[in-house]
Amino acid sequence: MRAAIANLVRRHPEAITITLVVLISLTFAIATGGSWLSVGNLQSLSQLTAVLAIMAFGEAIVIATGQIDISVGSVSGIAALTFLGLAPGVGCGLALLAALVSGSLIGVINGVFVALVGIPSLLVTLGTLFLFQGIGYAVTSGFSFAASTLVRKQFTYNAFGGGTAAEINTGVIWALIILVVLQLVVFETPIGNRLLAVGGDAVSSFSRGVNVTRIKFGVFVISGVLAALSGVLDSAFIGYADGSFGVSMELSAIAAAVLGGCHLAGGRISLVGTLLGAFILRGIQSFLIILGVQPQWYVLAVGLIVVLTSLVDRTLTKLALKR
């Protein structure tokens, strides 16, 4: 029985997360007398989840190769500023493109230093985190960029986070699309196989002919683009952004990925789990807000959950390996 559960968790790292989600949702629904499940709250919750999830997807891909990207918060900030800053001048379409390109460029910088020069990813992305956080502040110099009514009317603006489709924020739709695409790429394609192999044992993969450098480089570009998209979607929803946009969000992204069953050592990833992990984090937040509980408890809860989930996962993994 024990082995069966353990095996289930190994094959589907998101098993614990799904259980948690169900438990938490039930608890919250009951504790708030149903208001946690209100349309209004779910709408807001889904938007918040989607934005974090997209950033966390990119993070999960990087973590799957055994690396880490802590610059994603700064990237989303730069992207948000680029988008809102350029939109009035060149229109939302081009501004969106510019924002995504900026994200990919930062990803390229990260990738070059990590995969080509060989510096540990934690350090490189720490450096780019600082570098672009500073740039973000400098560019706004105390002010913020806001979306004018003209900008808000544009189709692209609405299609990318500013509007809704069938009562759901468009950001949510993007999150689901990306989830499906990544799920297919990681688990159903050769490149996905090699990505997982690199995370499991980079030297062995290399010996089998896998282009480890290219994969280690590529994941940072993906992470950069997704973080940028996340920034655009969120800033479009909120309608404005300043220099502090995205600061510290990388921690939540990592927490969401870990909660979802991704192993920091690499080789094990769950995209569905990551989405649910983001949902749990934001769900707790909204729960506390509804209850009028000090939102300060949220940060505390996140810390506990991250460690506890890892412990449980580690224990089950160990059990599964016992033959």
Partner 1 sequence: MRKLLKRPDLGIIIGCLFVFALFSLWNPEQWFNWGTIRNIGEYTAILGLLAIGQTFVILIREIDLSVGSVYGMVGITFVGLENNNVSDVLAFVLAMLLALLIGLANAALVTRGKLSSMIVTLGGLFFYRGVIYVHGGVTGVPQAARQNWFAQLLGGHWLQIENGFGVLLILGSLCAVILHDTRFGNHLLALGGDPASAESQGVPVNKVRTIAFCLCSLFAGLSAIVTLTHDPETNVSLGTGMELEAIAAVVVGGTLLTGGRGTMLGTILGAFFFTAVRSEMVALGAPPSWYVSFVGIALLIVVTINTLLVKRLRNQWIR
Partner 2 sequence: MDKIVSRLAAVPAKSMMTGMDGEIREGGSPKTPLISIRNVSLSYGNFRALTDVSVDFYQGELVGLVGDNGAGKTTLIRIISGIIPPTSGEVYFDGEKITKFHPKKAIDLGLECIQQTIGLCDNLSVGRNYFLGREPIRRIFGLPFLDKKKIKEASAKVVHDFGLRDSVDVDDEIALLSGGEKQTFKIARAVTFRNRVIIMDEPTNHLSVRERAHVNELALQLKQQGLLVIYITHDIFQIHRIADRIVILENGRKVTDVPREAMSSEALEGIIRDGAGTPLKGRSAS
- Does position 264 interact with partner 1 (CB under 8 A)? The reply is yes
CB 137 within 8 A of CB 247: no
Which part of the chain contacts partner 2 (CB under 8 A), choosing from 19-27, 191-199, 279-287, 297-305?
191-199
The two tokens of residue 176 are 């689901």
What b/e sequence results for 136-157 when a residue is b if at least 16 CB atoms lie within 10 Å of its CB, and e otherwise?
bbeebeeeebebeeebbebebb
Indicate the residue among 3 and 293 with the shorter CB distance to partner 2: 3
Contact partners, residue 298, CB within 8 Å, separation at least 6:
284, 285, 288
Half-sphere exposure of 145 (CA within 13 A, CB side): 26
Check residue 209 for interaction with partner 2 (CB under 8 A): yes
Residues 253-292, interacting with partner 2 (CB under 8 A): 267-268
Cβ closer to partner 2: 167 or 188?
188
Q: In this chain, which of 193, 272, 301, 312 binds partner 2, going by CB under 8 A?
A: 193
- Residue pair 161/235 in contact (Cβ under 8 Å)? The answer is yes
CA nearest to 198, candidates 40, 7, 62: 62
* Binding-site member from 203, 292, 294, 304 for partner 2 (CB under 8 A): 203
Tell me which of 47, 128, 154, 156 binds partner 1, using CB under 8 A.
Answer: 128
Distance of CA 242 to the CA centre of its chain: 20
Regarding 6 and contact with partner 2 (CB under 8 A), the answer is: no
Contact partner at residue 300 from partner 2, partner 1, none, CB < 5 to 8 Å by partner kind: partner 1
- Smallest separation (angstroms) from partner 1 to the CB of 161: 26
| DSSP string of 188-210, one letter each residue | HSHHHHHHHHHHH-HHHHHHTT-
Residue 223 within binding range of partner 1, rule CB under 8 A: no
- Long-range Cβ contacts of 289-294 (<8 Å, 24+ apart): 290/32, 290/35, 290/36, 290/41, 291/31, 291/32
Stretch that binds partner 1, among 11-19, 95-103, 233-241, 249-257 (CB under 8 A): 249-257
Estimate to the nearest angstrom the gap between the alpha carbon of 90 and the chain centroid: 28
CA 79 to chain CA centroid, Å, is 15
- The single residue among 58, 111, 199, 246 that binds partner 2, judged by CB under 8 A, is 199
Closest separation in Å from C-beta 300 to partner 1: 2
- Looking up tokens 């938490």 gives 24
Interface residues with partner 1 (CB under 8 A) are 68, 113, 117-120, 122-124, 126-138, 141, 206, 212-213, 243, 251, 254-255, 258, 264-265, 294, 296-304, 306-307, 310-311, 314, 318
Interface residues with partner 2 (CB under 8 A) are 10, 184, 188-190, 192-194, 196-197, 199-201, 203-211, 267-268, 321, 323
